[in-house]
C-alpha cells in the first residue's frame, strides 16, 4: 500500500467532509463550524472547546444524526467490500452483492416478518431486520448448494443459480405480500419502504449489530487480498500458483454474504454502492485488492453518507429513501463509466 499517499489523503478529505455535512444538514441545519468544534470537544484534552451549540442542537447532532452517520458508513463500506469480492469472484466488473440472491432473500425474509406481524427480535433489534438477515444467508446458502457440481462450484453455474434463486425469492415475497397482508397495518407500505433502503431513524443498536460483521468479516476479507488477485487470473492459473480455488471461494463467498446480509438487514435494499464503488476505485486505485478493498470501504461509506445527506435535504422536511438517491446517482454514473471505458477489463 506504499506509494498511495494521494489516494488515502483524498479519501480522508472526502470522508471528513461527508461526516461534517451529514451532521450539519437536514430538516434542521446546524452550522458546520460548530459541528466541527463539537466533534473536537469530545476528544481527550479538548473538552475546553465550546462549540456554542444549544441543547436541542446537541441532541440533533449526537443523538439523532451521529448513529445514523456511523451506520451509513458501515453499510456503505460493507456493500462496497462485498462488491469488490463479487467482481473478483466472477471476474466481471458488472457483478454486485445482489447477484447471489442476498437482496432478494433479505426481501423475502423482511416481507414474511412484516406480514406475520413479527415484532420480537434479538438484543433490541426488531423482527424485520433479523428475518431479513436470516433470509439473505439462507438464499446464499441455497445458491451455493445448488451450484455444486462434482465437488466444485463453477462460476457460470453459480451466477445462473443466483439469478434463478433471486427471481424465485422475489416472486415468493410478492406472493406472501399479496395473499397475506393486512390492510389495517399497511403492510405494503412497510415492505415497499424497506425495499427502497434507508438509514433514517436508526439507533446505536443497529450500529452495534452491523459493526462486528464489518470489522471481522471485512478484516478477514482484506487478508485474502492476495488470493483475490490470484483468482482474477483464472482458475487454471490460480491452481498452478498453488491456490486452493474451491476453499478460497467458499470462504470469500461466506464473508461477502455476511457483509451484504448484515448491511441489507438494517438498511433495506440499497443499490449501486456495491457495483459502482468497486468499479470506480479499481480505476483510481488499481487492481491490487490489498489496496482496493480498504479504498472501496472508505469510498463506499463516504458515498452512502453523502447520498443520505441528499436524501434528507432534497425535499426537507420530507425524507427520500436513500436507495432512490443511490440509484439516481449510480445508474447514469455507471453508464458513463461504461461509455468512457468500453475496453475496461479487470
5-340 domain in CATH 3.40.640.10? Answer: no
Question: How high is the pLDDT of residue 341?
Answer: 59
**Domain boundary assignment for the chain:** 5-340
Treating both helix axes as pointing N-terminal to C-terminal, what angle do 66-89 and 289-313 enclose, rounded to 10 degrees?
Answer: 140
The sign of the CA dihedral 125, 132, 71, 296 is positive
- Residue 125 phi/psi, 5° resolution? -90, 135
pLDDT 10s per residue in the chain (346 long)?
556 788 999 999 999 999 999 999 988 899 999 998 888 888 887 777 778 888 899 999 999 999 999 999 999 999 999 999 999 988 877 788 888 889 999 999 988 888 887 655 554 556 788 889 999 999 999 999 999 887 788 888 888 999 999 999 999 998 988 887 666 566 677 788 888 999 998 899 899 989 999 999 999 999 999 999 998 888 788 888 888 888 998 999 999 999 999 999 999 999 899 999 998 999 899 999 999 999 999 999 999 999 999 999 998 888 999 999 999 988 888 787 777 655 444 4
Question: How high is the pLDDT of residue 139?
Answer: 93
Is the CB of residue 77 less than 8 Å from the CB of residue 300?
yes
> Is 0.85 topped by the overall pTM?
yes
Question: How high is the pLDDT of residue 154?
Answer: 84
Question: How high is the pLDDT of residue 315?
Answer: 85
Residue 277 has, within 13 A of its CA and on its CB side, a CA count of 35
Amino acid at each position: 500500500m506504499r506509494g498511495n499517499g494521494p489516494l488515502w489523503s483524498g479519501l480522508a478529505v472526502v470522508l471528513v467532509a461527508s461526516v461534517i455535512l451529514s451532521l450539519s444538514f437536514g430538516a434542521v441545519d446546524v452550522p458546520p463550524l460548530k459541528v466541527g468544534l463539537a466533534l473536537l470537544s469530545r476528544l481527550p484534552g479538548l473538552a475546553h472547546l465550546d462549540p456554542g451549540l444549544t441543547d436541542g442542537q446537541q441532541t440533533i447532532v449526537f443523538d439523532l444524526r451521529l448513529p445514523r452517520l456511523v451506520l451509513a458508513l458501515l453499510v456503505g463500506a460493507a456493500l462496497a467490500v462485498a462488491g469488490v469480492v463479487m467482481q473478483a469472484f466472477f471476474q466481471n466488473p458488472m457483478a454486485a452483492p445482489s447477484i447471489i440472491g442476498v437482496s432478494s432473500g433479505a426481501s423475502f425474509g423482511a416481507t414474511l416478518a412484516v406480514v406475520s406481524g413479527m415484532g420480537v427480535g434479538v438484543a433490541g433489534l426488531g423482527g424485520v431486520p433479523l428475518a431479513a438477515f436470516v433470509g439473505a444467508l439462507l438464499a446464499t446458502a441455497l445458491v451455493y448448494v445448488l451450484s455444486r457440481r462434482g465437488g466444485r462450484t463453477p462460476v457460470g453455474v453459480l451466477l445462473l443459480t443466483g439469478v434463478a434463486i433471486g427471481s424465485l425469492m422475489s416472486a415468493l415475497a410478492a406472493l406472501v405480500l399479496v395473499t397475506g397482508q393486512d390492510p389495517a397495518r399497511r403492510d405494503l407500505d412497510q415492505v415497499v419502504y424497506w425495499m427502497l433502503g434507508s438509514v433514517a431513524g436508526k439507533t446505536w443498536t443497529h450500529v452495534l449489530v452491523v459493526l462486528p460483521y464489518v470489522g471481522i468479516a471485512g478484516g478477514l476479507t482484506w487478508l485474502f487480498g492476495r488470493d483475490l488477485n490470484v483468482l482474477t487470473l483464472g482458475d487454471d492459473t490460480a491452481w498452478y500458483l498453488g491456490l486452493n480455488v474451491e476453499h478460497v471461494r467458499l470462504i470469500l463467498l461466506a464473508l461477502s454474504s455476511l457483509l451484504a446480509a448484515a448491511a441489507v438487514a438494517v438498511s433495506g435494499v440499497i443499490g449501486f454502492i456495491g457495483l459502482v464503488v468497486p468499479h470506480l476505485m479499481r480505476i483510481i486505485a488499481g487492481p491490487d485488492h490489498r489496496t482496493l478493498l480498504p479504498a472501496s470501504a472508505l469510498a463506499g461509506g463516504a458515498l452512502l453518507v453523502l447520498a443520505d445527506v441528499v436524501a434528507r435535504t432534497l425535499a426537507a422536511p420530507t425524507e427520500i429513501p436513500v436507495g432512490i438517491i443511490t440509484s439516481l446517482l449510480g445508474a447514469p454514473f455507471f453508464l458513463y463509466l461504461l461509455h468512457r471505458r468500453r475496453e475496461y477489463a479487470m
